[in-house]
Amino acid sequence: MGLFNRDRCEGKNPEQLAGMRTAGLLVGRTLEVVAAAVHPGMTTLDLDTLAETHIRDHGGIPNFQLVPGYRHTLCTSVNDEIVHGMPGSRVLREGDVLSIDCGAQVGLWNGDAAISVVVGGREAGSAQDLALIDDTETSLWAGIAALRVGQSLYAVGAAVEDSITASGEERGWEYGIVEDYVGHGIGTSMHMDPNVPNYRVSGKGPKVVEGTTICVEPMVTLGEQDNHVLDDQWTVATNDRSRAAHWEHSIAATSAGLCVLTAIDGGAQRLAAMGAPFAAIDPA
C-alpha cells in the first residue's frame, strides 16, 4: 500500500466520536469472546462464525464483509501468515501463533482491531514466539502514545520502529517490520485516508487535527519482512516462513487526550503507564 496522496487527517465532532466508541467497543468485546474460545482442535472458521454471531447479536455488521470479494468476519493469520488470513477448515494446533483481526460497523461508524495469541495459552508458546507477540503489542502502544493533536502523524510510525528495534536489541535479535501493509484512517468506512506507516518516514507528513481517528497496526516478523500473497488472493505470508504477529487498535485523538476506541477501558491503564494523556469518550 503506497503512501502517496494520503496526506490529510479528518476530524470528528464529539457526537461522531461517540458513535466511533460504540463501534470500537463492539469490536473489542468480540475479540475478547473469540480469544477466550481459542483452543487446539477448532478451525479458524469456527472462530469466524462465533465472531459474526456476536457482532450481529449486538447490533453491528461485520465490516470485513463489506470489502469487495471478502465474505468473512475475521482475518485469521497463523504462524508465518502476517495478515488477511482467510478463515476456513484449517485446524488450530497447540503452540500456533494466531493473529485475529476483527471489524464491525454500528450505524454509520466503524471499528477495527487485532490481537495475537498462542493457541493453547501462553504456556504452550515458545519463548521466542511469546517475545514476538509481546514486543509487537508494546510497539503498538508506543505508536498510540506518540499520537498528538497538532503534531505529525508520522511520529506514530517512528515510535513503533524505535520500540521494535529496542526490543530486538535487548533480546539479541533483529525483528522485521512489515512495510507493505500499514495502518489507516477510520470512520464512516473501515479504511480511509491517511495511511499510517509502522516505520519512520521522512518528511513532515499529515498533521493530526482535533478528532482524528486512525488505526495503528504494526505487523512484525521473527525473520525478514519480505512477503507474498497466497493462492487464495488474500493471505499474506513471510517468504522465509518466519512467524509473524499483528496488533491493532482504533484510536481517537483530541486536545484533551487519547481514547483507544477498541480497548474496553479506552486505553486508560496502558496510556497512564506510558505517561500519555487519556480522555474518555462515552459510547453513543
Dist. CA 211–CA 186, nearest whole Å = 11
CA 117 from centroid of its chain's CA atoms:
13
7 within a domain of the structure (yes/no): no
Dist. CA 271–CA 281, nearest whole Å = 14
Q: Which of 155, 163, 245, 248 lies closest to 200, judged by CA? A: 155
Dist. CA 84–CA 263, nearest whole Å = 21
pLDDT at 60 over 50: yes
Q: Which of 21, 19, 11, 17 lies closest to 206, judged by CA? A: 11
What's the pLDDT score for residue 5? 42
Q: Which residues contact 123 (CB under 8 A, 6 or more apart)?
A: none
Dist. CA 51–CA 30, nearest whole Å = 6
- % of the chain with per-residue pLDDT over 70: 98
What's the pLDDT score for residue 261? 98
What pTM did the predictor assign?
0.96
Structural domain tally of the chain?
1
222-226 long-range contacts, CB within 8 A, separation 24+: 222/128, 222/129, 222/132, 222/173, 222/175, 222/176, 223/176, 224/176, 225/176, 225/177, 225/178, 225/179, 225/180, 226/176
9 within a domain of the structure (yes/no): no
- 3-class secondary-structure state, position 42: coil
Question: Which amino acid belongs to residue 167?
Answer: S
173 within a domain of the structure (yes/no): yes
Dist. CA 9–CA 173, nearest whole Å = 35
- 3-class secondary-structure state, position 96: coil
Domain ranges, residue 229: 14-273
Dist. CA 268–CA 278, nearest whole Å = 6
What's the pLDDT score for residue 203? 86
27 within a domain of the structure (yes/no): yes
Q: What is the mean pLDDT of residues 257-262?
A: 98
- % of the chain with per-residue pLDDT over 90: 96
pLDDT at 144 over 90: yes
121 within a domain of the structure (yes/no): yes
pLDDT at 231 over 70: yes
Q: What is the mean pLDDT of residues 120-142?
A: 98
258 within a domain of the structure (yes/no): yes
pLDDT at 204 over 70: yes
What's the pLDDT score for residue 1? 35
Looking at 49-120, which runs of residues are DSSP E strands?
A: 74-78, 81-83, 97-106, 109-118
Q: What is the mean pLDDT of residues 215-244?
A: 98
132 within a domain of the structure (yes/no): yes
244 within a domain of the structure (yes/no): yes
Query: What CATH number did the domain enclosing 180 receive?
Result: 3.90.230.10
Question: pLDDT class for 8, splitting at 50, 70, 90?
Answer: confident
